[in-house]
Structure 1
Amino acid sequence: MTRDTAPRIVKCPHCAKPVEWRTDNKFRPFCSERCRQIDMGAWASESYRIPAAKPPDGMSEDLDDA
């Protein structure tokens, strides 16, 4: 039994260009090597950060002393 389905299209995480999701696309989910490298550089430079809640009063001083 074969499945005839339309190709899955996703947006490149960097430039938002539509990209067909295929196993033979070595850059997926990115559209190109360039977008993949830009994203890797952002991770390496710690540009992607998760915001943290402010620690309770006195906790930050405890961490500084450690």
Structure 2
Amino acid sequence: MPDQTKKPSNVVELKTAKKASNCPMCKKKTDQKFKPFCSKHCADLDLGKWLDGGYRVPAEELLGAYDDFDEED
């Protein structure tokens, strides 16, 4: 019986292996339920860091940058 799954010669299969990932907070193996974290605890720690501004990019405010805007706009 001929192989019916044979692909044309111009088709290239991409086999991407799923790399085991680690929790960005504690580096333990991730849990699918809390991905990309390992637990609810680490997910909550990360959320707290976002809410507290822990991931903000430090920058200096430019003096006079908003002088062209009216307060009513």
**Interval of TM-score (by shorter of Structure 1 and Structure 2):** 0.5 to 0.7
Structure number with greater CO (CA < 8 Å, separation at least 6) is 1
Provide the residue aligned with 1:26 in structure 2.
Answer: 33
TM-score w.r.t. the length of structure 2 is 0.53
Q: Does 1:37 align with 2:44?
A: yes
Secondary structure in structure 2 of the residue aligned to 1:10: coil
Report the structure number with the largest CA radius of gyration.
2
Point out the structure with the larger helix share.
1
Number of equivalences: 57
Q: Does 1:11 align with 2:22?
A: yes
The residue type paired with residue 29 of structure 2 is P
TM-score w.r.t. the length of structure 1 is 0.57
Q: Which runs of 4+ in 1 moved over 6 A?
A: none
Listed as ranges, the gaps of 5+ residues in structure 1 are: none
Identity among equivalent positions (%) equals 40
Listed as ranges, the gaps of 5+ residues in structure 2 are: 6-15
Q: Deviation at 1:12?
A: 0.5
Per-residue deviation, residues 13-59 of structure 1 (Å, max 9, x unmatched):
11111336xxxx1200000000000001111111111123664x754
